Amino acid sequence: MNRELLRQLLLYYQDLGIQTLYRRGPAQTTPSPPQAAATRPETPPLSDPVPAQPYEAGLFESTPSSPSHESLADILADIGDCTRCRLHQGRTKIVFGAGNEKSPLVFVGEGPGAEEDAQGLPFVGRAGQLLTQMIEGTARKEGIPLKREQVYICNVVKCRPPDNRTPLPDEMEICGQFLFRQLAAIRPKAICALGATAARALLDRKEGVTKLRGNWYRWRGIPVMVTYHPSYLLRPYNQNAKREAWDDLKKVLHYVYD
Ligand code: URA
Ligand code: SF4
């Protein structure tokens, strides 16, 4: 790749919020110094031009993120048989994402569970069934004909964390580059962040889901709605949260499909 092309690519990644590039190869938590020096953008990181603040969707237009030069297939090919972080050690299948590449709505979860790891598909276990119900049930009630296949669904990390633990910050950073590139390739009208991990990956905010949910934020100009993760809603003592999740979803669906 010539220098100018490389420079453009680094600026593009920088614009997506990717600070460090991890090359394919043996797993390492931090890139070795010469490699880091060669791939890290020279200029200071661009800050998000608009801080992630709650706002009412529709009050002003979101500024689109820079147009992506790559397709989901390109990103999948780049992931390859990825060993960039330690999560590769326990995985059966990489769970890249599924659904409509041109979807105006993308759901982002945390990471694959056992069933997802076995099938290589996101949200196919119990939480996944609930997510399907949430999407299709809410849409039907609101008079919006929508099937799960029509949206795009993916996760912050693509390999199953051991014992379904929460992904660690370095794993989120390393694998997050793929999520950011997926979102830039799809450029949906809105993103729905399911749970704290997705919210943390997309928004630079410290509050938990209970605080963040129900409001609009932005990732690279794209409106983001935070709501509860379906796994959380499956626990019997969290039944009140279900109604709130349905409310959040209603807002998202009307914003995207009205
Ligand atoms: N939980 C997630 O966060 N993602 C999945 O794909 C399945 C369960
Ligand atoms: Fe690669 Fe992501 Fe899997 Fe880590 S979680 S090995 S970065 S695909």
Ligand 2 in contact with 158 (CB < 6 A)?
yes
Is 72-257 a CATH 3.40.470.10 domain? yes
> Residue 33: pLDDT above 70?
no
> Residue 140: pLDDT above 70?
yes
Nearest Cα to Cα of residue 156 among 145, 169, 143: 169
Q: Is the Cα dihedral 50, 155, 195, 256 positive or negative? A: positive
Nearest Cα to Cα of residue 184 among 154, 228, 149: 154
What is the spatial distance between Cα 111 and Cα 151, in angstroms, rounded to a whole number?
18
Ligand 2 in contact with 79 (CB < 6 A)?
yes
What is the spatial distance between Cα 120 and Cα 124, in angstroms, rounded to a whole number?
9
Q: pLDDT by residue (tens digit) across 204-258?
A: 898 999 999 999 999 999 999 999 999 999 999 988 999 999 999 999 999 999 9
Mean pLDDT, residues 187-202: 98
Which of 164, 228, 231, 235 has the most ligand 1 atoms within 8 A of CB, as the residue to mutate?
A: 231
- Residue ranges of the domains in the chain? 72-257
> Residue 42: pLDDT above 80?
no
User: What is the number of the ligand 2 atom nearest to the C-alpha of 178?
Assistant: 2
Between 52 and 118, the higher pLDDT residue: 118
Residue 68's pLDDT band, with cuts at 50, 70 and 90, is confident
Which of 17-31, 59-73, 98-112 comes out lowest in average pLDDT?
Answer: 17-31
Ligand 2 in contact with 98 (CB < 6 A)?
no
